[in-house]
Structure 1
């Protein structure tokens, strides 16, 4: 049984707009999985469906099932889902800019935990992010973009998650920083056995990091498989990995039709 499973899920915004349409996917315990696709494909909506953050955006699951560790999570509040082991790092580095990194970590720690547990977990997190330890007393709003992204991930780890969902962690970062952050994510997955569900438009970096991937287009899963296989797919190479030569945009419609058949 997978740790996370979505079965034929549909999400509607404002009771009108169908954002994702029959999405099914699975994340095994300890696995690393990517959701690829262009803007508007439904990637972020899929993560919010799992974390319970659709409500504030007037979205609702109208069909399908979402289970985590064998339990139906749809009736749970977002806070209960965090308690069950799901954590969502939103796009845009949503940190407390007026607090220091150290205070950000403290704010994310569960209230029922002890001071000793807090200090132990902070030490563990700072081991993954030594740059944050160096800047732990600085105001978070003055950190660089890469450091703020590290802080957002570090803060998520303070909940001791079993599944961490990352929405565009490479957005706006230089290639070397992207590589560093993805290496840290891989290390966390390997050492802590935390499952990872990664949303990325940087398909090349994502497919170098994860073991499995799903490609979303217009709210549908149109392709899935292990990362090595997807990297060799000519459509993935042409439209998501840069390809070779110029894109023939007259064939884009045909390409989309082909992907639906492949799904």
Structure 2
């Protein structure tokens, strides 16, 4: 069965000089949660923006490779057309409209819908996933907590009724309890709405707990891939991404890098 999303040999360059993504390939099956892991600067967010069509404002461009969604190549399609096809991205850092209330934020994301009753139904469904937003529906979004703003950012993306949801670092800056709550809701959205999810995360432990498959990215390349359980049990991933090992020293880092080159 063809995956909902496939990325083949993708390269991305910024300012026609800096090669940020270096020939990566990945697949996201329909109805799955797939996570793209790696440290800050690995190229994860750039990969998401190449899929959603948001590279242009940052002077980035795809110079090689093909991104296919539901069998269709996305080359040169502007971002609004990709949203219309069913791709929505929640950007890192939340970026809600702080001067608007949560309800106004959700309404602002509903412009593709002309049926007012359908819009109301979508908002009520989002409040069902995020009761805290319903409680604070009349408060300006700028006064919400970081976790509430992240919930609002996800809810706003869901107003587009996406087939594929791209989540960029949803755990960033949140307390562990809130991370657990948001990831539980993400899993519910996947199971109950059938939304396919590509999750970019530095918090490998939380991401691998809900994903079925994972890719590990370093310096613009995929260096490891496999079922989430396999990655969780891999000694390198446990030691360097899950905090399963003792304090690193330079010799052990060099040995790790040699092993990663062999695995790649």
TM-score, reference length from structure 2: 0.98
How far off is 1:259 after superposition? 1.4
Structure 1 residue aligned with 2:72: 71
Structure 1 residue aligned with 2:148: 147
Structure 2 residue aligned with 1:254: 255
How far off is 1:227 after superposition? 0.5
Cα deviation code 1:48-107 (max 9, x no counterpart): 000001011110100000000000112210010001000000000110000000000000
Structure 2 residue aligned with 1:182: 183
Larger displacement relative to structure 2 (112-121 or 32-41): 112-121
Structure 1 residue aligned with 2:18: 17
Q: Secondary structure at the match of 2:226?
A: strand
1:172 partnered with 2:173:
yes
Runs (5+) with no aligned partner, structure 1: none
Q: Secondary structure at the match of 1:53?
A: coil
What is the root-mean-square deviation in Å for CA atoms of aligned residues? 0.9
1:84 partnered with 2:81:
no
Q: Secondary structure at the match of 2:3?
A: coil
For 2:111 and 2:72, how far apart are their aligned partners in 1? 22
Task: Tell me if structure 2 keeps the 8 A contact 1:238–1:247.
Answer: no
How far off is 1:113 after superposition? 2.4
Runs (5+) with no aligned partner, structure 2: none
How far off is 1:261 after superposition? 2.0
Task: Write out aligned runs for 1:75-224 (5 A).
Answer: 75-224=76-225
Task: Tell me if structure 2 keeps the 8 A contact 1:36–1:43.
Answer: yes
Q: Secondary structure at the match of 1:22?
A: strand
For 1:235 and 1:111, how far apart are their aligned partners in 2? 45
Larger displacement relative to structure 2 (222-231 or 236-245): 236-245
Moved over 4 A (4+): none
Q: What is the total number of aligned residue pairs between the two structures?
A: 263
TM-score, reference length from structure 1: 0.98
